[in-house]
Amino acid sequence: MDVIVGTVGKAHGIRGDVLVRPRTDDPAARFEVGALLHTEDGRPLRVRASRELREGLVVAFDQVTDRNAAEALRSAVLWADVPDEPEPLGADEFHDTHLIGLEVRDLAGNRVGEVAGVEHYPAQDVLVLADQTLIPFVGALVPEVDVAAGYLSVNAIPGLIGGGDAP
């Protein structure tokens, strides 16, 4: 199964390195030396080097050796092939692939949307609903996740869902 693991930003230096905004729960593993990724059009890219930077990661690929080639990759979405059954996690941990597609309900059980994606930020993970609503994935706002039943509950505080209700 292919999953999105990052988005290429601008070139970094003259040797073909690029800035990458990770979109994965494990950037260290997805961008480790030797990892094989590909672009949305199927172009293979093998990670030659990777290091953290405040804006994300600086990544060098075997196939990208100069600044012009790096600039040509700008805005490319990076994909990785992952096993269909990801490794097990702890009780309150979830793989992105298990969250995407879950129905989102308010605490009264009313449907308010569907999880379309998960963004990983330094402070916390954020659920992205199909209507582009962003919900911080923290216990106070997402008190229940039931992957087997196909839903998660959201504490729909004013302004969080549906706009307009905020004071």
Give me the half-sphere count of Cα atoms (radius 13 Å) on the Cβ side of residue 136.
11
Give the pLDDT score at 90.
59
For the chain, domains (ranges, CATH) are: 2-81 (2.40.30.60), 96-154 (2.30.30.240)
Give the pLDDT score at 167.
39
Least confident residue range of 12-16, 51-55, 64-68, 73-77 = 51-55
The pTM of the full predicted model, rounded to 2 decimals, is 0.57
Q: Please tell me the distance from the alpha carbon of residue 105 to that of residue 54, in angstroms, as a whole number.
A: 35
Residue pLDDT, tens place only, 39-72: 989 899 999 999 998 878 999 999 999 999 999 9
Task: Provide the residue type at 80 as one letter.
Answer: A
Give the pLDDT score at 14.
93
Neighbours of 88 (CB within 10 A): 7
**35 backbone dihedrals φ, ψ, rounded to 5°:** -65, 135
Taking the chain, what is the end-to-end CA distance rounded to the nearest angstrom? Answer: 44
What the block records as the tokens of 49 is 């080097």
85 pLDDT higher than 60: no
Task: Provide the residue type at 129 as one letter.
Answer: L
Average pLDDT in the chain = 86
